[in-house]
């Protein structure tokens, strides 16, 4: 280790929402020697939209799936003029306001990434930093990793000799280039349904491949965000919440088969639901078709687990 290595009490990796709140909390509790390394040129993490598909970023139509009220920092409400589900631009502006309010930017080094972190004998950390000046070494007593779990995409392995274009949702930015195309979206989570609903507006045909039944829930009930409504029953025992949710979904959704979706058989609280109103509309309009699990691809043909292609 170089004797000239810069030392800090705490090093934070990433200036997204978790990194920002980590800096704020540390400084507020008297730890001022905090340095944050952010690989990009701005705060916000994935919420800082970029056309560069090599850079982690939201897509241009992205909005938060949890409501404004439930997504705000406890000590910093989102502006009242924001809609119930703000866009990525509004969310980024909110993070920027939070950083400015707490004067966090002085702790952040932009275009600076942590290439490696090694535990030292004294319990501290030896960090290799790459920035615009090159590569150098720093040390820290404590390390907070807030790089985000969406930073590296997970791509399922499918037996494939596919002739068409393939891309992960992390590379998707907009509907541009998808006009008139036939598209298969693999997955039924929040990003998959968002993208499928957007592509259905311009593509010739959109299919959504689901490995297992998924609870897809509209974002609002009686004109109020669904998470705000759910918050009203948070204090009840689990069995009561499950019962209310099952009955509520049956009342407000009906049978999933009415949308062409497989009926979920798992407990309603067993996994993260997909909150998306648009995909339900696209299903009822016939603009998105549901397929079973993707098994293999050959040429421009996809085979599914139920034998369809």
**Which of 24-28, 155-159, 214-218, 231-235 reaches the highest mean pLDDT?**
24-28
Alpha-carbon separation of residue 24 from 105, 107, 149 (angstroms): 11, 10, 21
pLDDT band at 283 (very low <50, low <70, confident <90, very high): very high
Predicted local distance difference test score (pLDDT) of residue 270: 82
> Above pLDDT 70, what percent of the chain?
98
Structure tokens, 62: 């992205």
Q: What is the dihedral of CA 222, 67, 214, 239, to 10 degrees?
A: -70
Mean pLDDT in residue range 29-50: 96
Q: Are 214 and 294 in contact (CB under 8 A)?
A: no
Average pLDDT, the chain: 93
Predicted local distance difference test score (pLDDT) of residue 160: 75
Mean pLDDT in residue range 32-41: 96
Predicted local distance difference test score (pLDDT) of residue 103: 97
Distance between CA atoms of residues 290 and 259, nearest Å: 9
Mind listing the pLDDT tens digit for each residue in 40-97? 999 999 999 999 988 889 999 999 999 999 999 998 999 999 999 999 999 999 999 9
Predicted local distance difference test score (pLDDT) of residue 2: 46
Predicted local distance difference test score (pLDDT) of residue 1: 42
Mean pLDDT in residue range 206-230: 93
């Amino acid at each position: 280790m170089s004797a000239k290595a810069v030392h800090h009490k705490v090093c934070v990796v990433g200036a997204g929402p978790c990194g920002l709140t980590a800096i704020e909390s540390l400084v507020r509790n008297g730890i001022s020697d905090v340095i944050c390394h952010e690989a990009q040129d701005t705060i916000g993490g994935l919420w800082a939209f970029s056309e560069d598909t090599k850079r982690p970023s939201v897509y241009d139509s992205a909005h938060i799936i949890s409501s404004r009220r439930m997504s705000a920092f406890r000590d910093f409400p989102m502006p009242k003029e924001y809609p119930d589900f703000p866009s990525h631009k509004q969310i980024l502006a909110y993070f920027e306001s939070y950083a400015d309010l707490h004067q966090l930017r002085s702790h952040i080094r932009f275009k600076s990434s942590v290439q490696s972190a090694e535990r030292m004998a004294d319990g501290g950390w030896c960090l290799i930093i790459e920035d615009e000046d090159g590569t150098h070494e720093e040390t820290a007593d404590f390390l907070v990793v807030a790089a985000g779990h969406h930073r590296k995409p997970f791509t399922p392995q499918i037996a494939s000799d596919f002739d068409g274009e393939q891309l992960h949702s992390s590379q998707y930015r907009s509907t541009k280039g998808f006009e008139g195309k036939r598209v298969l979206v693999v997955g039924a989570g929040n990003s998959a349904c968002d993208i499928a609903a957007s592509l259905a507006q311009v593509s010739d045909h959109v299919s959504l491949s689901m490995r297992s039944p998924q609870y897809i829930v509209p974002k609002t009930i009686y004109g109020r965000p669904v998470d705000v409504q759910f918050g009203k029953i948070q204090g009840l025992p689990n069995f009561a919440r499950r019962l209310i949710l099952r009955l509520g979904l049956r009342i407000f959704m009906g049978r999933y088969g009415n949308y062409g979706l497989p009926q979920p058989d798992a407990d309603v609280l067993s996994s993260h639901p997909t909150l998306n109103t648009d995909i339900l509309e696209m299903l009822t309009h016939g603009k998105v078709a549901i397929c079973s699990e993707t098994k293999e691809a050959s040429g421009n043909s996809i085979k599914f687990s139920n034998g369809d292609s």
